[in-house]
Amino acid sequence: MTSDSKSVSSNLSSASSGRTSSGRATPVSEPTGNIVPTSRSGDFMSFLKDVLSFTGDLSSMTCPSFLLNGISLLEYGAHWSDYPHVLAEITKATSSEERIKLVARWFVSTLYGSYNKRVAESNSGEKKPFNPILGEQFLASWDDAEYGETKFVCEQVSHHPPVSAIYFENAQAGIYGSGHFSQKSKFKGTTMKVVQEGRVTLRMKNSDEFYCLSLPDLNICSILSGKPFLEMSSTTFIRSSKGYTAEFHWYTKPWLYGEYHKFDGKMFKDAATTFVQDSPAQEQLFTFRGKWVAESRVTDVATGEDSVLFDVQAQPSADIIIKPVGEQSELESRKVWQKVSEALNSGNYDVASKEKTVIEEAQRALRKSRAEAGEQWKPSMFYWVDDASDNEAVKACYTYLYSAKESIGTGSWVYNNSPHLAEQSAAPSAYASGTQTPSDAFSTAPSSVL
C-alpha cells in the first residue's frame, strides 16, 4: 500500500486535536466546548426531561441528531488495536509472570482511545455513536514497521439486545483475540451509569497460555451542562489459564477534591478456582497505579523495582487504515451511515434525522419480513459458544472471572476463522455461517487513513 493511496485527516492543529506538536496525545478531563448548537438548546432541554423521566435502558431511546457524533459504535472496538506493537510485544515474554504484565500493559493502552480520545481531540463533549444495524460490519487494519499488519473485524451480532463482536489478529507476531461487548445504561443523579457486558479472550501461537478479560463500567458526567465526558469505574480483571490474575480498580473523581482518571491494582498468582478478594493464598507479583489517560507505573513486589507500565503521551497511536466508502460493502459501517454522517458534518440535522429514519425503517421492514418467512438471521463472521460447552481450560478461566464480575456473562462470540479452532477437534457449530474469511474481509485496494 503506497503512501499516495492514503489520505490522512489527522493534520489538525495541536490546540484543537488534543495532540502535541510531536503527535502525542494530550488527555482532557473536563471539555470546554458545548456539544449543543445554540439553535437546538430548546430541543436539548426537552430531550433531557425525557431522559430523566425514563426508567428503562437508555440505549433504547431515540437520540436527537445534533447529539450524534457521526460514527458507528462498531468503530469504537478498533481501539483494542490502537498500539499494534504493544499487542505484538506480548509474544516476546518468556514467563507467565512477564506475560501477565505485558497483557496488562496492552489492556491499559486500549483505554485512552476508547474513552477519552474523542473529547481530547475536539475539546468538546462526548457525543453518541450510531446504534449499529443487525449484521453491520467494520473492517480496519494497521501497519507496523517491525510487526507488520494487524487486522480487525467487528460485526453487530444482535440488535435486541445490541451486541457487537470483535476479532483482531497480528499474524506475524502470532497473537489474536476475540470478544464482544454491549452496554446497559441508566441515569443515577446527574450521571449516566453504563454497565459494559462482555469479555475478550486473548491467545498466542507461541504459548498455550491464554487470557480472559472483563470490561470496565463507565460514568458519563456533565450531561446536563452539554459537555459530557467519560470516567471509568468499578473493577476489572485479566485472568490467565495458568492462574495469573491482574485486578484493576478504576476511580471516579470525588465531588470536591481529587483527580480524574486514576486507577491502581495488582497482579498475582492464584490457584483457586473462584476469586476471593484479598485472599491470603494469592501470591503477589506486581502493583500498579497511575492515570489511564496519561502515565501508569508498575512495581515488582519482590525487588521493589519501579518502571513505566504505559504512557499515553510517550508515543502516538498507529494510523488506522480503512477502505474508502466507495469500495465498502453495503453492510460496512461507513457505507451504511454515509448519508447521515455527511448531513451531520454539514450541520444539516433535519436531513440527518430523515436519513437515519430511512435506515431504521428499512431495518424494521427487514425484521418483519424475516419473521413472516420464519427465517432466523445468523452472523456471517461469528458464532456463539456457551461456557458450559467450551473446553475445560476456557470454562475454568471464565468460572473464576464470573465469580468476580458477573457482567462477563456465560458465553463468548467467537470468530469463525480464529486460529485456535484449527487446533480443536470440533469445527465451529452449525450456528456459524462462515461466509467471510480474512482474505474476503481485507483487500489490497487503496485505503484511507483516519
Span of 197-201, 257-261, 268-272, 414-418 with lowest mean pLDDT: 257-261
Burial of 426 (0-12, 13-18, 19+ CB in 10 A): exposed
With a cut of 50, say whether residue 427 has pLDDT above it.
no
Q: Which amino acid is at 225?
A: S
Give the separation between CA 289 and CA 80, rounded to whole angstroms.
Answer: 21
Q: What pLDDT score was predicted for residue 216?
A: 96
Q: What is the pLDDT of residue 374?
A: 96
Write down the pLDDT at residue 25. 63
Q: What is the mean pLDDT of residues 15-40?
A: 63
The whole-number average pLDDT for the span 387-407 is 96
pLDDT band at 121 (very low <50, low <70, confident <90, very high): confident
Helices 338-345 and 349-373: crossing angle in degrees, nearest 10, is: 160
| Residues 238 and 100 sit within 8 Å (Cβ to Cβ) | yes
CA dist 360 and 131 (Å) reads: 10
Report the pLDDT value the prediction gives residue 122, as an integer from 0 to 100.
86
pLDDT at residue 165 above 60? yes
- With cut-offs at 50, 70 and 90, classify the pLDDT of residue 18: very low
Amino acid 138: pLDDT:
98
DSSP code of residue 83 = S
pLDDT range class, residue 395, cuts 50, 70, 90: very high
The pLDDT tens digits of the residues spanning 100-118 come to: 999 999 999 999 999 999 9
Cα separation, 9 vs 378, in Å, equals 35
**Does pLDDT of 89 surpass 50?**
yes
Q: Which residues contact 356 (CB under 8 A, 6 or more apart)?
A: 65, 68, 130, 340
Buried b (16+ CB within 10 A) or exposed e, 134-170: bbbbbbbbbebeebebbbbbbbbbbbeebbbbbbbbb
What pLDDT is recorded for position 9?
30
Of 155, 96, 101, 123, the C-alpha closest to 18 is 123
Q: What pLDDT is attached to residue 8?
A: 26
Q: What is the pLDDT of residue 24?
A: 58
Average pLDDT over residues 328-356: 97
Q: Which three cell numbers stand for residue 12?
A: 489538525
pLDDT score of 160 more than 70: yes
- Give 266 or 16, the one with higher predicted confidence: 266
pLDDT for residue 15: 30
Give the pLDDT confidence of 220-275 residue by residue, as tens digits: 999 888 999 999 999 999 999 999 999 999 999 988 788 999 999 999 999 999 99
Average pLDDT over residues 187-211: 93
**Helix or strand (DSSP H, E) at 306:** strand 306-311
| Range with the poorest average pLDDT among 21-25, 113-117, 245-249, 369-373 | 21-25
Terminal CA-CA length for the chain: 15
CA-closest candidate to residue 219, choices 292, 126, 140 = 126
Say yes or no to pLDDT of 443 above 50.
Answer: no
pLDDT at 187: 83
Tell me the pLDDT of the chain averaged across its residues.
88
Q: Across residues 426-431, what is the average pLDDT?
A: 44
Neighbours of 395 (CB within 10 A): 14
Average pLDDT (114-127) is: 90
Alpha carbon separation from 324 to 8, 129, 130, 280 (Å, rounded)? 12, 20, 19, 55
pLDDT band at 369, cuts 50/70/90? very high
Higher pLDDT: 58 or 414? It is: 414
Residue 425's pLDDT band, with cuts at 50, 70 and 90, is: low
- Going by pLDDT thresholds of 50, 70 and 90, the confidence category of residue 447 is very low
Average pLDDT over residues 131-144: 97
**Contact predicate 86/106, CB 8 Å:** yes
Check: CB of residue 446 under 8 Å from CB of residue 3.
no
Percent of the chain predicted with pLDDT > 70: 87
Determine contact, residues 152/328, Cβ cutoff 8 Å: no
Distance CA 394, CA 103 (A): 17
> What is the rounded average pLDDT of the residues 198-226?
95
Is 17 a residue whose pLDDT tops 70?
no
